[in-house]
Structure 1
Amino acid sequence: MPDSRDASLIATLRPWWRLLDRRRGRLLAGAGLLLLTVAAGIGLLALSGWFITATALTGLALAAGLSVGLDVYVPGGGIRFFAVTRTVSRYVERLYNHDTVLRLLADLRGRLFGVMAGLDGHTLSRRRASDWLDRLTADIDTLDGLYLRLLAPAAVALLAILALSGLLALWLPRAGLAALALLLSAWLWLTLGQARCGMAASRGQIEALEALRGRLFEHLRGLAELETYGSLAAHRARLDAIERRLQVDQWRLARVAALGTALAGLAVGATWLVVLVLAALAWQAGALAGPVMVLMPLAVMALNEALAALPMAFTRLGATRAAAERLNALEAARGTSVAAVLKEASEAPPRGPLGVTLDAVGLHYPGALQPALSGLCLSLPAGRRLALCGASGAGKSSVAQLLTRQLAPSAGRITFGGVALEAIGEATLRERVACLTQRVELFDDSLAANLRLGDPEADAARLWRALAMVELADWAAALPDGLETRVGEGGRRISGGQARRLGLARLLLREPELVILDEPFAGLDAATAARLADRLDEWLAGRSVVYLVHQLGEAVDPPGIDHILTLCNGTLCAEGQDVSGWDR
Structure 2
Amino acid sequence: MTSLRRLHRELAPWLRLLARRRRRLILGTLLLVMTVASAIGLLALSGWFITATAVAGALLAAGGAASLDVYVPGGGIRLFAVMRTVSRYLERLYNHDSVLRLLADLRGGMFQVLARLDAQALSRRRASEWLNRLTADIDTLDSLYLRLLAPPAVALLAILGAALLLGIFAPRVGTAVGLVLLGLWCWLVLGQAWLGMAASQRRVATLDRLRAHAIEHLQGLAELRAYGSLGRHRGEMASVETSLYRDQRYLGRVAASGNALVGLGVSLAMLLALWLAAQAYAAGTLTGPLMVMMPLAVLALGEAFVGLPVAFTQLGATRAAARRLNALGQSRSAIVESPAPRLVGDGPAELCLEAVSLRYPGALTPSLEEVSLTLGRGEQLALLGASGAGKSSVALLFARLLDPDRGRVRLDGVDLQELKLGSLRSRIGYLTQRVELFHDSIAANLRLARPEANAAELWRVLEAVELADWARDLPKGLETSVGEGGRQLSGGQARRLGLARVLLLDAPVVILDEPFTGLDRPLARRIATRLESWLAGRTVLYLLHQLGDEQVTPVGIQRSLRLVAGRLESVVEREQ
TM-score, length-normalised on structure 2?
A: 0.90
Aligned twin of 1:359: 354
Cα displacement (A) at 1:20: 2.2
Cα displacement (A) at 1:527: 5.6
- Output the CA distance in 2 between the equivalents of 1:306 and 1:472: 58
Q: Which residue, out of 61, 81, 84, partners 2:82? A: 84
- Output the CA distance in 2 between the equivalents of 1:569 and 1:278: 85
Aligned twin of 2:394: 399
Aligned twin of 1:116: 114
- Output the CA distance in 1 between the equivalents of 2:321 and 2:198: 13
Cα displacement (A) at 1:126: 2.8
Cα pair distance change 1:60/1:235, threshold 3 Å: same
Cα displacement (A) at 1:303: 0.7
Cα pair distance change 1:295/1:405, threshold 3 Å: same
Cα pair distance change 1:553/1:21, threshold 3 Å: same
Cα pair distance change 1:55/1:226, threshold 3 Å: same
The one-character-per-residue Cα deviations of 1:248-299 (angstroms, maximum 9, x if unpaired) are 1111111111221122222222222333333333333333333223222221
- Output the CA distance in 2 between the equivalents of 1:487 and 1:570: 36
- Output the CA distance in 1 between the equivalents of 2:387 and 2:217: 26
Cα displacement (A) at 1:442: 3.7
Aligned twin of 2:195: 197
- Output the CA distance in 2 between the equivalents of 1:365 and 1:5: 37
Cα displacement (A) at 1:121: 1.7
Q: Which residue, out of 550, 570, 573, partners 2:569? A: 573
- Output the CA distance in 2 between the equivalents of 1:54 and 1:443: 65
> Conserved in 2, the CA contact under 8 Å of 1:345 and 1:426?
no
Residue 425 of structure 2 corresponds to residue 427 of structure 1: no
- Output the CA distance in 1 between the equivalents of 2:346 and 2:524: 31
Aligned twin of 1:51: 49
Aligned twin of 2:284: 286
Cα displacement (A) at 1:241: 1.8
Cα displacement (A) at 1:36: 0.6
- Output the CA distance in 2 between the equivalents of 1:494 and 1:59: 76
Look up the SS of the partner of 1:547 in the other structure: strand
Cα pair distance change 1:194/1:544, threshold 3 Å: same
> Conserved in 2, the CA contact under 8 Å of 1:276 and 1:296?
yes
Aligned twin of 2:500: 505
> Conserved in 2, the CA contact under 8 Å of 1:530 and 1:556?
yes
- Output the CA distance in 2 between the equivalents of 1:69 and 1:501: 86
> Conserved in 2, the CA contact under 8 Å of 1:352 and 1:513?
yes
Look up the SS of the partner of 2:201 in the other structure: helix
Residue 453 of structure 2 corresponds to residue 458 of structure 1: yes
The one-character-per-residue Cα deviations of 1:205-256 (angstroms, maximum 9, x if unpaired) are 2222222222223333444554555444333322322222122111111111
Identity of aligned residues (%): 60
The one-character-per-residue Cα deviations of 1:101-152 (angstroms, maximum 9, x if unpaired) are 3323332333333333333222322333333333332222222122212211
Look up the SS of the partner of 2:353 in the other structure: strand
- The count of aligned residue pairs is 573
Cα displacement (A) at 1:483: 4.8
Moved more, 47-56 or 61-70: 61-70
Aligned twin of 2:462: 467
Aligned twin of 2:514: 519
Cα pair distance change 1:189/1:470, threshold 3 Å: same
Code of the residue aligned with 1:392 in structure 2: it is S
Aligned twin of 2:366: 371
Q: Which residue, out of 174, 181, 205, partners 1:183? A: 181
Aligned twin of 1:27: 25
Cα displacement (A) at 1:332: 1.9
Aligned twin of 1:252: 250
Q: What pairs up with 1:42-191 in 2 under 5 angstroms?
A: 42-191=40-189
Q: Structure 2: give runs of 5+ residues left out of the alignment.
A: none
> Conserved in 2, the CA contact under 8 Å of 1:349 and 1:419?
no
Code of the residue aligned with 1:547 in structure 2: it is Y
- Output the CA distance in 2 between the equivalents of 1:471 and 1:66: 96
TM-score, length-normalised on structure 1?
A: 0.88
Residue 37 of structure 2 corresponds to residue 39 of structure 1: yes
Q: Structure 1: give runs of 5+ residues left out of the alignment.
A: 580-584
> Conserved in 2, the CA contact under 8 Å of 1:447 and 1:486?
yes
RMSD over aligned CA atoms reads 3.0
Moved more, 290-299 or 526-535: 526-535
Q: What pairs up with 1:277-316 in 2 under 5 angstroms?
A: 277-316=275-314
- Output the CA distance in 2 between the equivalents of 1:69 and 1:567: 101
Cα displacement (A) at 1:187: 0.7
Cα pair distance change 1:524/1:75, threshold 3 Å: closer
- Output the CA distance in 2 between the equivalents of 1:240 and 1:473: 48
Code of the residue aligned with 1:77 in structure 2: it is G
Cα displacement (A) at 1:162: 1.3
Moved more, 48-57 or 228-237: 228-237
- Output the CA distance in 2 between the equivalents of 1:60 and 1:488: 71
Aligned twin of 2:322: 324
Cα pair distance change 1:256/1:77, threshold 3 Å: same
- Output the CA distance in 2 between the equivalents of 1:551 and 1:482: 37
- Output the CA distance in 2 between the equivalents of 1:286 and 1:27: 46
Look up the SS of the partner of 2:436 in the other structure: coil
Cα displacement (A) at 1:563: 4.7
Cα pair distance change 1:241/1:445, threshold 3 Å: same
Aligned twin of 1:582: none
- Output the CA distance in 1 between the equivalents of 2:434 and 2:203: 35
